[in-house]
Structure formats: structure tokens, C-alpha cells
A and B are shown apart, each in its own frame.
Chain A
Amino acid sequence: MNRLHSLSAVVYAIQYGFFWLWIPIFLLFGLATILEFVSLTWIPVVGALGFAVGVAYGIAYYYRFGYQITDDTFDVASGVIARRSREIPYGRVQNVDIKQGVFHRLFGLAIVSIETAGGGDTEASLNFVSEAEATRLQNEIRTRTAAVKQRRKQAGDHTGDETAATDDATPDSSGVVEPTETTATDSETGPLGPGAGAGDTVPDRDRPFDEPTGPKRRSLFDLEARELLLYSFTSFRPAAVAAVLFVFFLASDTIIEILLAMSQPVGGPEDLGTGTTSSYGIFTIVSFVNGLVITYLLSVAYTFATYYDFQLGRIGDDFVYERGLLQRYSGSVPVEKVQSVTATDNPAQRLIGYAGLWVETAGYGPDSNGGSQSAVPLAQHDRVYGFAENLTGVETPSFERPPPLARRRYLARYSLIAGSIVAVAFGLSMISPLERWYLAVIAFAAVPPAAHLRYVNLGYYVGEDHLVVRRGFWRRRTTIIPYYRIQTVSTRRSIFQRRLGLASVVVDTASSRTFVWAAPTIYDVSLEDGRDVNETSRKRLQSALRKRAAGEAGLSVDFT
């Protein structure tokens, strides 16, 4: 078993020390109110005691944490009192990510996370190891995952599809499979029999750190300075809103003072207590504009720092990427694990003719985007769609649109929203000095354009080997789903849709998503078309799976 970097013992000790410091102190506060003889003067003593226990726990945690690369699994054992040992079969690894914060980079350290499809959490997180060790682990796991795939493929060639199928289901019991000479690690790990790797393990640390002797890294896409700047300025991160609100709550008094000082020259109130309706209005507008500008600038800075020096490459059949200014991320995504490919653009990006490309896997990436990984953060629109076509092999889609009847639904829906805005304004006028609530009726003016924009950005294309679904105005997503990735197909009809004879088709894949990235849905097509898409997808799923078993379907890694 390998240990983490020795510095992590120090970090764990400090972390747990400060955590445990508070427990006896809180306990003491509680007891002091109940028991007479307990005195608050004991705080330094019990605090120190708690800290010592925490430090001991942190150090124990370090010594009880071990990881290891074995023949067919990556093993992690952890836990001071309750032990957990986890074995992750290489065949199930979705991606391996390396994350380096500023602190880590100063000391040459890194956090390695290993993701599989199961669960909503990172399966193994090594917090932290040295940079060299992180790269070594990433390479080792990547080559071994690739080797498992290679073996699986060969097994399929030797013994027909039946065995390939069962082998796939249980990659660990691949007793029939002979090791191949195709990759470097295979020759080192020796024959892979049933049960091998359970007991005898490879002494990883003793082996010299060698470069992966497999295929070399080839560059696919580098984000240029111009693209990075455009991306920073045209994308918006909701996290920035949260950050601004957080800072506001922390220092609301100071911030309100600054805002007052800023609004005074343009007619704002002297202070919050004295002011007229108009000066309050000016104050509100100044604060609002300030909030917007600061949130936007923060979002720009965040995007810039996150995607600084973005590089996408390939090693063998894996995508590898690197990015980040202060915090460096690097990860690998086996192309086999890609579930769907999505091109995204927002109105600003459409205006300048740019778009981005994402690949979705079933794992959980370092972003909060579920299993979505940015393959090309931003590039010219035509290039991105070209990339998407090269990657998936889809023909240029000619989108079909839902019937115009669908637009009526959006008109009705957005009218309801506008109506509720008016109702809220009316309610406010009842309980506050707000007058002229009826001015909120202006919200209805936005209804027709909103309904139209939603409608024109909907589209779908039933291709030969792929289903393409496009939706969304603020963040338009064009998702390309190979038929062989479909999990279930549903046709949904709400009571309103039934009245209009419309239906939505939900095509579910195994990509893990947050609620922001809902399953690809073809909205509001006529029932007949919806059933058609449903039928076709089901049929083509079966034929695509047969094709895939014969090795004819898949993504091509060299897409740029």
C-alpha cells in the first residue's frame, strides 16, 4: 500500500485539530449552564485537549490511508476506526482527474480523483500526492483501463460476441482472456488469471517511474488567447451571483455605505432613513447596476482563471485535458465512456459566431456540471459543429421543428408568468408605499418574443446513426446522441399537450447530469411525429448495438 504525500499528514492534523478544538468547548458551554462546578475558565485546557485529539486523529488518518495499483483494480483503504477498503476495476473507471490549487502548486502537490459511473460521488480521492506521483497514477490507470478495453475487444474477436457481452458485464472474471502484448503495462503485470491481483500485487513504488510507452500525447485543441477572452466575456457563471450575495451578507453595512456614497452625487438619499421616493429609486438603480457590473466582472475573472491555458489532447483512445490559472485541473476521459456530445452557445456567443463543445460521461467531473467535460470551451461556430460531426460521425443535421401549435403553449405559459409578476406587483402595492403597480403589465410585452425565441430554438433531427436534439435560448444546447447510447425512451403528454395533440420525447442516456442539464428532450412535437421518433430510436438502438458489437460504431478521437 502506498501512502499519501507526507505533507498531507500535516494538513490533516491541522484540519482535524481545528475541527476537534471546538467540540469540547461547545460541550463545556453546554455543561456550564447545567452543572455548577463546571467553569468556563477550563476553555484553554479542554480546547488544547480537543486540538491534541484532532491532531492525533489527523495523523492516524494519514497512516491508515493507503492506495495501490493492482493488476485489475485500483485499491483504496481508509478510515481510522471504521475501515473501508475499496477496489475499483479499471474497466469501470470513467475518468481520472488531477486538481492543483495554489497551495498545492507551491509545494508541488496534487489531488487525484477517480470517477466511475456508480454513485453520486467521487469514488476515490487522493488528497494529496506529489505532482510526479499524480501524473504517474493518471498514466498507469489510463493505460490499464485502455488495456482492459483492448483485451475485451480481442476476447470479442476470438470467441464471438456472446463472450464479449458477458465479459463486459464482469470484467474481473476474464479468465478466458490471454494477456496481449499491445501495451507496456501488460507485459509487466504478467498473465491475468482468475484471482490474480487479489493477493499478489505489484510493488509500485519500487518500479522506476517511466513514461507511458503506449501512444504519445497528441494535441487536439488549444484554447487561444483570443478565444479565452471571448469565452470569459461571453459566458456567465451563476456561481458569481452566489459569491456576490455571500460577500454582501458578510459586509452588508460597509457595502450599503459605499453604495450610498456612490449614489449621492447623482441624487441618492443622505442615508437609508431619510429620502424621497425618487432618491430611493436612484439608490436602487445605482445599487442594481453596481451589483450587475461586479457580478459580471467576477464571472469573467472566474471563467478566465478556470479555462486559462486550456489544452485538449489525446493519448491512444483517451481524451486528456488541462486547464486553469491558479488552480490547475487535468483529466482524462476514455472516448469509450462518452455518452453524448453537446454543442452549446448563448445569445452573445451566437452574435459573434462562436460555440462550445462538451462531452458527457457517466462520471462526475471536477466541475459541478455532472459528467459534462468541456472539450472545446469556445471556437468559431462552424469549427465547433465541424468538430461535433467529426467526433460522432453524424451527417450535417437538417433540423425539424415542432408544429407552430407549440408556440401557443409557450405564449400561454409565459402569459401566466407575466400575470403572476403583475399579481406580485399588486400585492406589493398593498403592503408597501409602491404605487402604479399596473406598470408591471409591461411584462406582457416580453411574452410574444420570449415564446417565439423558445420556439425557434427547438429542433430535432433523426439521423442514420444519431439523434440530434436542440433546445434552449439562453443556453442553446445541441445534443448528439448515438443510438447505441440510448437507455430508455419515453413519450410524455401533459393534459395541455393532449388537448393540442402534442407530445414530448425524452431520450435518456447514462450521462450523469445535474438538474441544470436535464435529459435531452424533444419538446412539443405532434403525437404522430413523437411516436415515430420513439419507434425509430428503439429500432435503431437494436441495430446500432449489433453494429457496435461488430466494431463498426463509435466515436473517432481525432476530431480536430
Chain B
Amino acid sequence: MEALHPRIRLLWIGQGVIAAVLVGLVLAGVDRWLVDIPTAAYGGVVAAVLVLGIAYAVRLYQVWQFELQGDALYLERGVVTFVETAVPFVRVQHVDTQFGPIERALGLSSVVVYTAGSRNADVRIPGLTPDRARDLQDTLRELAVESEADDAV
């Protein structure tokens, strides 16, 4: 089983911080225009969201794992709902590597695997180094071509 790059935690923690800031802003709005909120409660809620966000990010990193198995790409992820997904290579329609501005700043990249399915139709593996991502994309593409099936949708 392969873990993600540890730096992905920074991205997820950043998301937690953004969530905390947003909650803070909403509460500030409520405080200003609707009802007075005691400063202690205000600080407490924002701090709780922040701590939860960071804990979630750390836990998500611990949980996230993937592996190339004999017939399928296998992934494990999820903090609240733990999901184990198998994407058979036969079912891979195409593979993307993607990175957003923040991911790029962190030197990270994601691989997105598309299937023709209706749910979980795209499976994303975040937090890979660009080299590893390209490598994984190539491997998946080769495996997908190798095992192509005679029943496209």
C-alpha cells in the first residue's frame, strides 16, 4: 500500500483553516446584524472548527492509501465514511494528471481516473509528486490498454 505525499497535509490543513475563517466571518455577520454573540463562544466555535479541520486533515492523510493490484487500482480513504474502492483496469476510460495553483505551489499533483460508471465515475488520487503522478498515469494507461474489454458502453 502506498501512502500520499506528507505535504498533502498542508493543503488539507489549509482547507480546514479556510473553513474556520469562513465560519468566523459568518459568525461575525450574525453578531453584527442579528444577535450578539459572546466573544468566548465566538472564539470557541472558530477554534473548534480549526481543531476539527486540522484533526480531519491529519487523520485523512493517515487513512489514505492506494495500491496497484493484479486486476485493479485499489484505494482506501475517508474519515467519516471509510471507502475501499476497486477500479478494474478494464474499466479505465482515461487518466488525467491535474494540479491546481495551491497544489502546484506545494509541488504536488493529482491523478484522476475516469470510468464509465454513474457513481464514483472519477476517482482522484491527490498528493502525489509530479513524477509519481506521471508515472502512475503511464502505468494505468498501459494497464488499461492491455486489458481492454470487448464491451464498451
A-side interface residues toward B, CB under 8 Å? 117, 156, 161, 164-166, 168-169, 336-337, 339, 362, 484-495, 498, 506, 508-513, 518-519, 534, 538, 541-542, 545, 548-549
Task: Give B118-147 as 1s and 0s: 1 = Cβ < 8 Å from A's Cβ atoms.
Answer: 111101000000000000000000000000
Residue in B78, B83, B86, B118 whose CB lies within 8 Å of A538: B86
- Which residues of B are at the interface with A, using a C-beta cutoff of 8 A? 71-72, 78, 80-88, 90-91, 115-121, 123, 148-153
Check if B118 sits within 8 Å of A161, measured CB to CB.
no
Given known contacts A534-B84, A538-B88, A542-B71, is B120 in contact with A490 (CB within 8 Å)? Answer: yes
User: What does DSSP make chain B's interface, helix, strand, loop or mixed?
Assistant: loop
Q: Give every chain A residue within 8 A of B91 (Cβ-Cβ).
A: 486-488
Contact A168 B151 (CB under 8 A): yes
Give Cα A117–Cα B84 distance, bound, in whole angstroms: 27
Residues in B neighbouring A337, C-beta threshold 8 A: 153
CB-based contact B80/A494 at 8 Å: yes
A-chain residues with CB within 8 Å of residue B86 when the two chains form the complex: 488-490, 534, 538
In contact, A488 and B152 (Cβ under 8 angstroms): no
Distance A375 CA – B151 CA, assembled complex (angstroms)? 22
What are some 10 contacts across the A-B interface (CB < 8 A)? A156-B150, A337-B153, A491-B83, A494-B80, A494-B81, A494-B82, A508-B119, A509-B117, A548-B151, A549-B150
- A161 and chain B: residue at smallest CB distance: B150
Could you say which residues of chain A place their CB within 8 Å of the CB of B148? 165-166, 168-169
Q: Considering residues B84, B85, B90, B150, which has the most beta carbons from chain A within 10 angstroms of its beta carbon?
A: B150
Interface contact B150-A542, CB-CB below 8 Å: no
Inter-chain contacts of B84 with A (CB < 8 A): 490-492, 534
**B78 neighbours in A (Cβ, 8 Å):** 492
- Residue among A362, A491, A492 making CB contact with B116, cutoff 8 Å: A362
Contacts of B81 in A (CB 8 A): 492-495
Q: Once bound together, how far apart are the Cα atoms of A538 and B89, in whole Å?
A: 11
Select A490's contact among B83, B88, B150, beta carbons within 8 Å: B83
Q: Cα distance A489–B81 when bound, in Å?
A: 15
On chain B, the residues within 8 Å of A513 by CB distance are 118
Q: Is the CB of B150 within 8 A of A168?
A: yes
Enumerate chain A residues within 8 angstroms of B151, measured Cβ to Cβ: 168, 336, 484-485, 545, 548
Besides A493-B82, A494-B80, A545-B90, 19 more A-B contacts (Cβ < 8 Å) are A165-B150, A337-B153, A339-B153, A362-B153, A484-B149, A486-B91, A487-B116, A488-B86, A489-B85, A490-B85, A491-B84, A491-B85, A492-B83, A494-B82, A509-B118, A510-B117, A541-B71, A542-B71, A542-B90
Query: What's the minimum C-beta distance from A116 to chain B, rounded to whole angstroms?
Result: 9
B118 touches A488 (CB 8 A): no
Instruction: Report Cα–Cα, A117/B152, bound state, in Å.
Output: 10
When the two chains form their complex, are residues B150 and A510 in contact, meaning their CB atoms are under 8 A apart? Answer: no
| CB within 8 Å for A488 and B150 given contacts A538-B88, A541-B88 | no
Contact A549 B115 (CB under 8 A): no
Contact (Cβ within 8 A) B119 A519: yes
Could you say which residues of chain A place their CB within 8 Å of the CB of B152?
168-169
Least CB separation from A371: chain B residue? B118
Report whether B123 and A508 are in contact in the complex, using a CB–CB cutoff of 8 Å.
no
In the assembled complex, the Cα of A362 lies from the Cα of B153 at a distance in Å of: 7
Considering the chains assembled together, what is the distance between the CA atoms of A334 and B72 in angstroms? 29
Rounded to whole angstroms, the CA-CA distance of A518 and B117 in the bound complex is 12
Report which residue of B115, B121, B123, B153 has the largest number of chain A beta carbons within 10 angstroms of its beta carbon: B153
Q: How far is the CA of A164 from the CA of B86 in the complex (A)?
A: 25
With the chains together, A541 CA to B90 CA distance in Å?
10
The chain A residue sitting closest to B113, CB to CB, is A488
A488 touches B83 (CB 8 A): no
Complex alpha-carbon distance, A137 and B84, angstroms: 46
**CB-based contact A506/B88 at 8 Å:** no
Complex Cα distance A75/B84, Å? Answer: 42
Closest beta carbon of chain B to A120's beta carbon, Å: 11
